[in-house]
């Protein structure tokens, strides 16, 4: 199910800090000041199916992970909580990649994920 098939669960006014972060992110879309990238190494024998299911369970359980922002055509921006959101997931196997190439790929991935974030589409995170 995509977020467009989902039902709005709640709508909240933005805090002043959220308003500022949204404003600056929209005003300077190339800036990644309010966007974070977390990188970690995972074991080669990781149960990917269970790992994906665990991440999706977190999204399903916590409202804050099912949010997007709406600001166009309304008086004040709001935070929208969606009932059903599928976590975007991309798998890459880089186990046999040389370190110099790995660093290059990680930098490209970071740039792609951070810059492609759409504040109007939930969830406001991606996993790769």
Q: What is the pLDDT of residues 60-78, one digit of tens each?
A: 999 999 999 999 999 999 9
pLDDT over threshold 80, residue 125: yes
Residue 76 to residue 99: CA distance in whole angstroms: 47
Asked if residue 121 is part of any domain, the answer here is no
Residue 35, domain extent: 3-115
Both tokens of 21, joined, read: 């972060």
- Please say whether the dihedral angle defined by the alpha carbons of residues 43, 47, 48 and 54, taken in this order, is positive or negative: negative
Task: Please answer whether residues 83 and 66 qualify as being in contact, where contact means their C-beta atoms are separated by less than 8 angstroms.
Answer: yes
pLDDT, mean of residues 13-17: 94
State the pTM of this model. 0.79
* Antiparallel, parallel or unpaired: β 8-13 and 78-82: antiparallel
Number of domains in the chain: 1
pLDDT given for residue 84 in this prediction: 94
Greatest Cα-to-Cα distance within the chain, rounded to the nearest angstrom: 52
Asked if residue 125 is part of any domain, the answer here is no
Asked if residue 123 is part of any domain, the answer here is no
Asked if residue 122 is part of any domain, the answer here is no
pLDDT band at 115 (very low <50, low <70, confident <90, very high): low
Count CB-CB contacts under 10 A for residue 86: 15
Asked if residue 99 is part of any domain, the answer here is yes
Q: What is the average pLDDT score of the chain? A: 87
Asked if residue 41 is part of any domain, the answer here is yes
Asked if residue 73 is part of any domain, the answer here is yes
Q: Is 27 helix (H, G, I), strand (E, B) or coil?
A: helix
Q: What is the CATH number of the domain that holds 66?
A: 3.30.559.10
């Amino acid at each position: 199910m995509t977020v467009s098939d989902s039902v709005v669960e709640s709508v909240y006014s933005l805090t002043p800090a959220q308003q500022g972060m949204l404003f600056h992110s929209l005003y300077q879309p190339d800036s990644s000041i309010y966007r974070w990238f977390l990188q970690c190494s995972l074991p080669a024998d990781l149960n990917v199916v269970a790992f994906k299911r665990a991440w999706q369970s977190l999204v399903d359980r916590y409202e804050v992970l099912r949010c997007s922002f709406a600001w166009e055509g309304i008086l004040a921006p709001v935070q929208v909580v969606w009932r059903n959101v599928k976590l975007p997931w991309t798998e890459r196997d880089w186990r046999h990649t040389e370190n110099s190439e790995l660093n290059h790929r990680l930098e490209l991935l970071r740039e792609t994920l951070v810059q492609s974030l759409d504040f109007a589409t939930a969830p406001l995170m991606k996993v790769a």
